[in-house]
Amino acid sequence: MAIRIDGKAIAAAVRSDVAAEVAALKTQGIVPGLAVIIVGNDPASRTYVNNKKKACAEAGIYSEEFALPEDTTQEELLALVVSLNGRSDINGILCQLPLPPHIDDKAVIAAISPRKDVDAFHAANTGHIMIGDYTFLPCTPAGVMELLHRSGVKAEGKNCVVIGRSNIVGKPMAMLLLHENGTVTICHSRTKNLKEICAQADILVAAVGKPKFVTADMVKPGAVVIDVGMDRDENGKLCGDVDYAAVEPVAGYITPVPGGVGPMTIAMLLKNTVTAAKLQNALLTDSLGK
């Protein structure tokens, strides 16, 4: 029977650490600030934004929401980003994805100052992640690493398999495991012998976006199984990319959905915002430039 990795408890510990850091910064006259931009009325995006604002308030971080109508032009959105880049009271800028189809998300991400890019999606930050000289990490992969660290799981010398190659999760996840001396395989829709490759993994990260995709016969006995998925099953019930009921008796460690990776994403966003505040107030040095 697998040990259940409690993402809620670990996220609460991270948020407590962040709140303590924020309190310490405030004694120096520094109030970390986060700007959250949402375009349109996507219900899931609205829920995410509300959760982020609530988490900021609990940690003592100043947050400011910019809710823009669906028909906002790309030029208007870029102008807002440029104005936020210039505000000293805003340390982090987050533009909630997805954006409406008429807006180029790559252009918006590129417009955000790398020093305020708390999602770590800007090309400058992704490049630094590649070479292992980073200031910010994407929130979900960073959250996965925090779960592993606080559960006493080491990647060094382990076979690590990541299912999924997105720029937001799969690719940076693979790099972080590699930086900690894991031997990493990235699998995707064109991978042959997927089941056999996954069954050799000591650490298996599922980020494919397909409900209950990872079955028991894909998991090595005793493996660490991290489920990044947030899906709905045939009954509309929230589930992950891993068939939890089937895999849990086989795995050594496993994250549930909900209550696993999900809570970590917002916790790491708060951590990135504090890092940005320190960076912009010369309490940290980095290689990002202006």
Cα–chain center distance at 266 = 8
Active site residues: 52, 96, 119
* Sign, Cα dihedral of 107, 31, 12, 143: positive
Angle of helix 7-26 versus helix 262-280 axis, rounded to 10: 20
Question: 258: cis peptide before it, omega within 30°?
Answer: yes
Helix, strand or coil, per DSSP, at residue 33: strand
**8 Å CB contact between 50 and 23:** no
Cβ burial of 67 (10 Å; 0-12, 13-18, 19+) is: middle
> Residue 68 corresponds to which amino acid?
L
